[in-house]
Chains A and B, each alone.
Chain A
Amino acid sequence: MMLLEHHAKEFLSQAGVPVPEGVIVTDPQVPRFIFPCMAKAQVPVGGRGKAGGILKIKSAAEAPAIIERILGLTIRNHPVRACRLEALVDEAAEAYFSLAFDPDSGTIRILIAAEGGVDIESPEMRAKLLQAAAPPAVAPAQAALETLLPSLPESLRGPMREVVARLIPLFFEREAVLIEINPLFILPGGGWVAGDAKILTDDNALPRQPELRALIEQYPALYPEAALKLAQGFDFVQLDKLGDIGLVTTGAGLSMQLVDEIIQRGHRPFNFCDIRTGGFKGDPSRLIQVLKWVASGPNVSAILMNFFAGNTNLAELVPLILIALKNVPELRQKIILRMTGNGLDAARKILAESGNPIHVETDLERAIDRALADAKEWQHA
């Protein structure tokens, strides 16, 4: 999960990394803070400045309007749910630091540059990045950094050593996948401050990362996907609140592909979902939850369920679907159930005996065709 900047900076601060003072706000009421300051949209993607998500607040008087404007933005499909107010940083040089895995060699990679900033993705800037790889442990990473330092201006060497000394232990303790500080402000007196911070953590490590779990539990509205995964063990991502096709699907890859294909065909999936039928264990509650969310989409006009039962059994799944549908009476759109694999005949029999009008297809292409046609019909009715 990508930490929001505010929480990334809290983690950094706890590890002894200097960050500008800041507070997180989720409503436009004037918080106690010192103005002028910066107001920064808290979303897990870059490009915030260009999208109008980073603005200067000159006085307490203009704070509510600016915060409200930022909280009303959607940046790269992420609605802004929180805003960080942050103290201004005096005139400073901007450097770059990141720590990540090299998934191929299994090493960690340190990237540094004397110049950082928003243009770091440009080919000219990337060409100036210095990089070194090291086995995944603190001492080798520090040794690797030493090989890069001679290529940096003298004024940067001290700060970079301190950055590495603090961030490498943090990288391992929090089981991070990426830590990027850009810009890393180098102050005229030799001090340094993390201007922005990107920390990508590993959801799979949550069972043994109590601080990360606590963060998600404290802010479920800011990390809805991670909160769901943590509490209920499956994935649901709302993709398009005006989407017309609701998806109840299992398997990450196949579910992503279905989203792609529905978009290619001119429709708008409301959600992505990997419901993980293997984890049902006879309990319909995941299905009920997903159906309720899908039913809440104002434009959802048809629901496509897809279950390829390679290792599960459809005869065990269908009774759960029937119970779930009874529990979501608000769902009035047509449902297309594509199912194939183990237990198909028995599952069909159970459905037929139930009298439920749910439409069954065994072929995925026909199921998609039917769902899209049903959606059009619903929209015209």
Chain B
Amino acid sequence: MLDAFLAPDVKVLVQGATGRSGRSQTAQMVAYGTNIVAGVSRRDDPEVKIPLFKTCADAVRETGAKASVVFVPPLDVLAAINEAIEAGIELIVTVAEGVPVHDALKAKAATREAGVRWVGASTPGLAIPGKMKMGFLPNVSLAPGGLGVMSKSGTLSSEVCYRLVERGFGQTLWVGVGGDSVKGTRFADLIPFFAADPATTGIVIVGEIGGSEEEELADALIAARCQKPVFALLAGRSALEGVTMGHAGALISAHIGTIETKTAALRKAGAEVSPSIKLLIEAVSKTLAPS
């Protein structure tokens, strides 16, 4: 059922395949099993072991790629997304940190209009454990299993999943949606896929203060009549008001996006909200059987 979101054997191209991080991450994605068919870069690079093309359009025409993972600097992300849309890519994952919000807004409008799914602006990517990954979710935190995972923070979800994997709980699909305020795929967008997927036996949400995504997610859980156990961890309950704590989206102002509003909404939707990583892992262990 998750194939509707992402097929494990989808043909993937890498935009920015010859940069420092693009080159090394491409090799790691290939090693993990991702069906990387092409790289896109303006320059040649003999160290890159996949077919390189000058443009997305060339790469798509020659290889039939349907998905793209983008390793370009933050100020070049919008142009890369537009190029991917033009070339007919259906899923775009962007991983650069520091994409300006106004660019993200334009990218959101463009992907929406074209009917293209965008995971970004700044995310560690996504993975179907044991099969493929786009981006750099760490291998030590990935294992096939029954949890549907979605996260704002890469580091916090890596820690959480690493410890869940140690206890025998792997993932069906893990999507890092990122910590930006304007983003392509929001928590609520993923609920229909996880709710309908028989292999997903529980859902783990790694959220944080700021914005209203967790509140929307609670509404989506209710709307989908999702009966699966949902476990949430929300970071930033002690964040300083008026200051950006690392993530642009994690900025609280007045009474919007606080831990209290998010916790209340998620609990009303039947989710178990844990105050610590340890308690989240205990909650999962008590409710579900390891895979």
Binding site for B on A (CB under 8 A): 1-2, 43-46, 76-78, 101, 103-104, 106, 121, 135-136, 172, 175, 177-178, 200, 202-205, 207-208, 225-226, 235, 237, 239, 250-257, 259-261, 263-264, 269, 272, 274, 308, 310-311, 340-342, 364-365
Contacts and interface: CB of A to CB of B under 8 A. Distances in A.
B105 A136 contact: yes
B254 interface: yes
Given A106-B109, A257-B156, A261-B276, A310 B138 contact: yes
Interface stretch (B47-55, B237-245, B265-273): B237-245
A253 B277 contact: no
A225 B141 contact: no
A76 B159 contact: no
- How many B residues touch the partner, as a band? 35 or more
B102 A205 contact: yes
Contacts of A177: 101, 181
A200 B206 CA distance: 26
B136 interface: yes
A contact face: mostly helix, strand, loop, or mixed = mixed
7 contacts: A46-B254, A136-B105, A250-B155, A251-B158, A252-B247, A256-B209, A364-B163
B70 interface: no
A103 B246 contact: no
A205 B101 contact: yes
Given A46-B254, A77-B241, 10 more contacts: A177-B101, A200-B253, A239-B238, A253-B247, A255-B155, A257-B276, A260-B236, A261-B275, A261-B276, A308-B138
A253 B102 contact: no
A200 B157 CA distance: 28
Interface in B199-243: 206, 208-209, 211-213, 216, 233, 235-243
Interface string B90-114: 0000000011111001101100100
A77 B243 CA distance: 11
Contact of A225 (B152, B155, B244, B254): B244
B153 interface: yes
A106 B155 contact: no
A341 B239 contact: no
A256 B239 contact: yes
Contact of B102 (A2, A135, A202, A256): A202
B82 to A, nearest CB: 15
B94 to A, nearest CB: 13
A7 to B, nearest CB: 14
Contact of B159 (A237, A239, A272, A308): A308
Nearest to B179: A252
Contacts of B74: 204
Contacts of A311: 136, 138
Given A76-B241, A251-B154, A205 B276 contact: no
B100 A205 contact: yes
Nearest to A226: B244
Contacts of B262: none
Contacts of B209: 256
Contact of B246 (A172, A204, A256): A256
A48 B76 CA distance: 40
A253 B243 contact: no
A208 B76 CA distance: 12
B216 A104 contact: yes
A256 B101 contact: no
Given A204-B74, A310-B141, A106 B237 contact: no
Contact of A308 (B108, B158, B241, B244): B158
B287 to A, nearest CB: 20
Contact of A272 (B181, B211, B237, B245): B245
B140 A45 contact: no
Contacts of A264: 275-276
A253 B138 contact: no
Of B137, B141, B251, which is in contact with the most chain A CB atoms at under 10 Å from its CB? B251
Contact of B277 (A1, A136, A261, A341): A261
Contacts of A203: 244, 248
A10 B50 CA distance: 53
B155 A253 contact: yes
Contacts of B251: 2, 200
A2 B233 CA distance: 27
Interface string B153-193: 11111110011000000000000000101110010000000
Contacts of B186: 103-104
Nearest to A257: B235
Contacts of B155: 250-255, 308, 310
Nearest to B184: A106
Contacts of B132: none
A204 B100 contact: yes
Contacts of B236: 256-257, 260
Contacts of B105: 101, 106, 136
Of B105, B106, B140, B163, which is in contact with the most chain A CB atoms at under 10 Å from its CB? B105
Contact of A43 (B159, B216, B242): B242
B157 to A, nearest CB: 7
A76 B240 CA distance: 8
Contacts of B233: 257
A260 B183 CA distance: 25
Nearest to B210: A103
Contact of B235 (A43, A239, A253): A253
B278 interface: yes
A238 to B, nearest CB: 9
Nearest to A177: B101
Nearest to A45: B242
Nearest to B141: A310
Nearest to A201: B101
A204 B99 contact: yes
A43 B253 CA distance: 13
